[in-house]
Amino acid sequence: MDEEAQMQTRCHILDLPWEDVLVPHILCFLSLQHLVSLQRVSRQFHSLIQVYLANCRTFDLSSIGPSVPKEAFCSMLKDNKVLHSLCLSSCSEWVTDKELLPVIGQNQHLQRVDMSSCVGLTRHSLVAVSLSCMHLQHLGLAHCEWVDSLSLRSLVDHCGGLQSINITACRQLKDDAICYMAKKCLKLRSLSLAVNANVTDESVEEVAKNCRGLEQLDLTGCLRVRNQSIRTLAEYCPKLQSLKVNHCHNVTESSLDPLRKRNVVIDVEPPLQRALVLLQDVLGFAPFINLQI
């Protein structure tokens, strides 16, 4: 009898309340990869995972993106209307407007979207984000060469609360679009304009004068940026913490030194240190130099 009573009282994990226990207190600790695997165990587990996916706030495909069929992506998010964060940065091989637009359209509370390197998307996806996601704060568009001036203007017209945007290698963008963005997005704290030969001092100065709370700026490979705009940056952005100017050959130590004295992290070494590293490579050891002479 005791054994029979134990069998009757034995509880299966699926007997626990799904929305009150399993979804908020157990499934939230599993990776998306594990959730997808668990979904294949049985029909009940498939239904449970669908309930979880319909209520999850963060959906990050960065670790398994290349192996996810586009049909699975559409199925997983078809019932979700509460997303706050969506990362598609490793889905470049399959994601297109057709898959993304329905997800964006039904998730108006998105605060963070990363579409970096999604070469199969078009400007229509960015326009959809701008029209649907009024509360957007963080946006990744690195290496999305389809981003143009009109779609960026639409974005900043509707999402003035942006705090960070990465438009690395968005080579269609020129000074006019970036200056327009700077005037609209006054809360920007992190900005990457890297690898864009169209960016000049005009863009950097407009960003500096309008985005006074800027903390991080990446100008890597912006060949037309010069000392003038870096001095403006130092004057108008007292909260600056990090500046990247590698391969900006017209930016010299005369403009960087005031920022170094404020402990701003800069990705290029001062000339003397660079010379010492070169000397060490040649000689095989670092010579002692009395810098106080």
* Per-position DSSP letters for 134-149, written without gaps between them: TT--EEE-TT-TT--H
pLDDT in tens, 238-265: 999 999 999 999 999 999 999 999 999 9
Is it the case that residue 292 has pLDDT exceeding 90?
A: no
**Rounded Cα–Cα distance for residues 74 and 219 (Å):** 36
> Domain-by-domain residue ranges, the chain?
13-55, 59-281
At 143 the pLDDT is 98
Beta bridge partners of 192: 166, 218
Q: Residue 164: helix, strand or coil by DSSP?
A: strand
Beta strands in 110-188 (DSSP E): 112-114, 138-140, 164-166
At 32 the pLDDT is 83
Tokens of 282: 């040649």
**Rounded Cα–Cα distance for residues 130 and 136 (Å):** 8
Is it the case that residue 139 has pLDDT exceeding 70?
A: yes
At 6 the pLDDT is 54
Percent of the chain with pLDDT over 90: 71
Is beta strand 216-218 parallel, antiparallel or unpaired with respect to 190-192? parallel
Beta bridge partners of 242: 216, 265
Rounded-to-10 torsion of CA 18, 19, 22, 25? -170
Q: Of the CATH numbers 3.40.50.880, 3.40.50.1820, 3.80.10.10, 3.40.50.10490, which one belongs to the domain with range 59-281? A: 3.80.10.10
At 283 the pLDDT is 60
Half-sphere exposure of 114 (CA within 13 A, CB side): 14
At 291 the pLDDT is 47
Is it the case that residue 15 has pLDDT exceeding 90?
A: no
Q: When comparing pLDDT for 285 and 166, which is higher?
A: 166
> Stretch 99-119: mean pLDDT, rounded?
97
**Rounded Cα–Cα distance for residues 152 and 274 (Å):** 38
